[in-house]
Amino acid sequence: MSNETKNKTAADTVAENVQTIGEAVAENAAKAEDVAQAAATVGATPVKPGKSEIKPKSKAKTEAAGCASALKAVGLAACKRHTLSQVWVTSDGQVFPQEGDAKEHAKNLPSKEILKVTAK
């Protein structure tokens, strides 16, 4: 562990993580033009006779997918920022370079899942 990491306060670490999350969300946000084009495409798609319309995904699945993509974005940002080939992200958004550390941290969380993110 570097001296820089040892000397950080919890508030500094949280502030850095929030900044990283904000940057990742901003980079992955859809543009208004993309959303409008997608909406037009969906509205223009005819439904074939005898076929039922596509049912929307359940709210839980949609939220889980959104959460996973946000955590992946945080992991990718951490890989880029700290020049790491892979990291593990816990459900609260904490990023760890070692899997064991992530598992230990996740033990204290409601969701014990961790996500392995590999840099592109």
Tens-place pLDDT, residues 87-107: 999 988 899 999 999 999 999
Instruction: Using the predicted structure, report yes or no on whether residue 4 has a pLDDT greater than 90.
Output: no
Q: In what order do the strands lie in the sheet with 114-118?
A: 95-96, 86-90, 114-118
Average pLDDT along the chain = 74
pLDDT at 49: 59
Instruction: Using the predicted structure, report yes or no on whether residue 85 has a pLDDT greater than 70.
Output: yes
Query: Helix 59-82 to helix 10-28 angle, to the nearest 10 degrees?
Result: 110
Overall pTM surpassing 0.85 (yes/no): no
pLDDT at 46: 57
Average pLDDT, integer, range 61-77: 73
DSSP-based three-state secondary structure for 88: strand
Given a contact cutoff of 8 angstroms between Cβ atoms, the answer to whether 18 and 67 are in contact is: no
Evaluated on CA atoms 105, 109, 113, 119, the torsion sign reads negative
pLDDT band at 74 (very low <50, low <70, confident <90, very high): confident
Q: How far apart are CA 87 and CA 80, in angstroms?
A: 11
